[in-house]
Chains A and B, each alone.
Chain A
Amino acid sequence: MIRARGIHKSYRLAGARAGELPVLRGVDFDVGAGEFTAVVGRSGSGKSTLLALLGGLDTDYSGELKVAGKELRALSDAELSAYRNATIGFVFQAFHLLDHLSCEDNVALPALFSVQGKESKDVRLGRARELMEMVGISDKCGTRPSTLSGGQKQRLAIARALYHKPQLLICDEPTGNLDSASASAIIALFRKLRDESGVTLTIVTHDPTIAAAADRVIEIRDGVVELGGVNTSAASAAPSGDEEVRP
């Protein structure tokens, strides 16, 4: 599903510290279809940067990065947008829901940018309700996201990410803003998703429980992948730089 070889990414800095800030310096890893991978690393190590590359939000990198057989850097804006729309789904730490839309409209947002032609409003809302049911917030139909709890918001965001049945779900610290009870419910949801739909999960996390639930853990340290083995125990899943674990 994912094949990364020698990925280099640096940010151009402006102002007083003008120059290049290298973040990824030769990242190699592979993720198979249906695999549940946790990406760990210190704050600032480049995890979000890697996810932005994987998600086609940023194509300013060198090296080889193929997702679902496509070299992302080679895609046009329209192709990348179609890729974000249908091949992958995003889940963010800060949920990123649109407060002026209803919960269903948030879930159905990807439909508005679908290249697959237009679906009728009924079809869109039907699919949205189905997904809300699946993530366990069917009682929130018709409300606005601002009325939901943190855990419910993240479920809504996951429902949105699943709208077009993506092959790959990319999550950036999905439990970072949640209390532990909500977090474990979300983790359970991820497990269920992986088991039932076989979606590939790539989750950036500081949360040891997610890392423990993953098939494997990738650690980014000093711009390269440090650890890419199969997760055999919870201990090996924990970030090795244990001084940087976030609350």
Chain B
Amino acid sequence: MSSLGAIVRGNLRNNAIHFALASVGVIVGIAAFAFFLALGAGVRQVVLGKIFPLDQLEVIAKSMTLDVGPVSLGLASDVLDESAAQQLRGVAGVRGVFPKMKLTAPAIGLGGKEIIGNDIRTELIVDGIDPALVEGEVAGAELFRDVPEPSKTPTACADDSACGKDMYCGKPYQGGPGKVCRDYVPVLASPHMLEIYNGSLRRAYNLPRLNPDFLVGVSLEMRVGASMVQAAEKDQLLYDRLKLVGFSDKAVPLGVTMPLSQVARYNVHFGTPEAATRYHSIIVKIEGKDQVAAVAKKIEELGFEVTDGGAEQAGFLISVFVLVFSLLSTIIVGIAAVNIMHVFFMLVYERQREIGIMRAVGARRSDIQRIILGEAASVGLVAGAIGVGLAYGASRVFDYVSARHLPDFPYKPETYFAFSFDLVALALGFAAGFCVLGAWLPARRAARMDPAAVLTGR
């Protein structure tokens, strides 16, 4: 019965002006719908993709405390060991398990002259991660690898050229006089730091904008055991030179991230041999974003705690935002559907004779209904396409204005919108659906009309 399409097309052409007027509301509603949905999806991509990546979870030991009156006793240690990692590996939906270790001794960093003109001295927060966690993910990841044990009999040197490739001439690992050839400790930094620096800090201090490519390769001296807080200072210091090899959102947001083995080496030095496998958290990579909740639940059932990096709240806020605006758009489209209904009632009335003729030559009631609903669906699809087009145009204008006239801020995206195929399909389906809904009663009336009265009428 696709030949009915010819009738539908003819009717669409004939009543183009009516339909155009009727679909204005649908166009506006769908434009708003697509715009806000794309905005929500785009912002979600930025927030969940860059600020809080959500295909992974960070697992920590459950902090068990026993409250006895005003006294609360910590019962379990706050570290995880290899058996915990083993347990997490067994959870369904887990793609990989990557322990993380914090440096348990204080450390300070010295450097920065090449970048901002002055050496700065700062307490360093140091995290260690399994290099496999970032494998193939960031540029420079191949340089992010375990550092060999510092040599017991290092080669003395005068400057870097006396040492091998990728080595430097500097203080011995455990300090002391003279200079020896040393391996750099590769570190990753979080793009968050760069964002925060470029987005706001640099304005306050009137410093240049930094670009990540420029920063890669920069080195920094580190003294483990040293602290700007006198009381925390250890008796003995360890010396290393850090080299920034890349940026990764797996890196600790504020601080430097190095291979786990290196942090373990420091922790064993300042603690006990067991410190080598005392992890502070474990990153669990999930097979798919939609499995995150289920995996989190299973992990909690195993007696671990899953840290909430704010992603859930952010995701929730975005969902609320999208919901509110798509509800508003739905109301607009709903009102438009009422308008569509009026127009179709009028058209059905105007076309009584035509409908009667079709019935007389063999159209079933359902054919009539299909013709009218087909017209409504076509009007909806066209209006929906125009609406999506308008939304897309508006989004481009919005992005352009943002790029040209808004100052930088952390995570300022190039586009705030994500028009996916699904979104377009949804918007078109929505438009067609509402038009069909609006035309439902008129189509029924048309199908039930008495053809005899109009045809044999005087």
Contact = CB atoms under 8 A, between A and B. Distances in A.
A96 B3 contact: no
Contact of B360 (A82, A84, A100): A84
B455 A92 contact: yes
Contacts of B11: 100
A78 B368 CA distance: 12
B458 to A, nearest CB: 8
A118 B2 CA distance: 9
Contact of A112 (B3, B356, B455): B3
Contacts of A118: 1-3
Dominant secondary structure at the B interface: helix
Interface string A71-107: 0000001100110111000101010111011000000
B362 A110 contact: yes
Contacts of A114: 362
Interface string A25-36: 000000000000
Contacts of A85: 361-362
A57 B360 contact: yes
B361 A84 contact: yes
B387 interface: no
Contacts of B451: 57
B364 A81 contact: yes
Contact of A77 (B6, B10, B365, B452): B365
A101 B11 CA distance: 10
B55 interface: no
Contacts of A86: 362
B456 A109 contact: no
Contacts of A163: 361
Contact of A96 (B1, B356, B364): B356
A238 to B, nearest CB: 22
Interface string B1-41: 11110110011011000000000000000000000000000
B363 interface: yes
Contacts of B353: 96
B359 interface: yes
Given A58-B452, A78-B364, A172-B456, A113 B357 contact: no
Interface stretch (A48-56, A133-141, A182-190, A193-201): A48-56
A113 B360 contact: no
Contacts of B356: 96
Interface bin, chain A: 20 to 34
B10 A55 contact: no
Contact of B361 (A48, A77, A78, A110): A110
A84 B14 contact: no
A57 B362 contact: no
A114 B4 CA distance: 11
Best-buried of A81, A90, A100, A160 by chain B (most CB within 10 Å): A81
A57 B364 contact: no
Contacts of A156: none
Contacts of A172: 455-456
Nearest to A124: B3
Interface in B41-89: none
Nearest to A43: B458
A98 B360 CA distance: 13
Contact of B362 (A84, A94, A101): A84
A78 B362 CA distance: 9
Contacts of B354: 98
A163 to B, nearest CB: 8
Nearest to A119: B3
Given A57-B359, A57-B360, A112 B456 contact: no
Contacts of B2: 118
Contacts of B362: 81-82, 84-86, 110, 113-115
A58 B361 contact: no
B455 A96 contact: yes
Interface string A8-46: 000000000000000000000000000000000000000
A111 interface: yes
B358 interface: yes
Interface string B421-458: 00000000000000000000000000000111001100
A199 B7 CA distance: 29
Interface string A112-136: 1111001000000000000000000
Nearest to B447: A77
Contacts of B6: 112
Contacts of A57: 359-360, 450-452, 455
Contacts of A58: 450, 452
A205 to B, nearest CB: 13
Given A55-B360, A98-B354, A163-B361, 4 more contacts: A52-B455, A81-B367, A97-B357, A112-B363
Interface of B: 1-4, 6-7, 10-11, 13-14, 353-354, 356-367, 450-452, 455-456
24 contacts: A48-B452, A49-B452, A52-B452, A52-B456, A55-B452, A77-B364, A84-B359, A84-B360, A84-B362, A85-B361, A92-B456, A94-B455, A97-B357, A98-B354, A100-B10, A100-B14, A109-B358, A109-B361, A110-B362, A112-B3, A113-B361, A115-B362, A118-B2, A160-B361
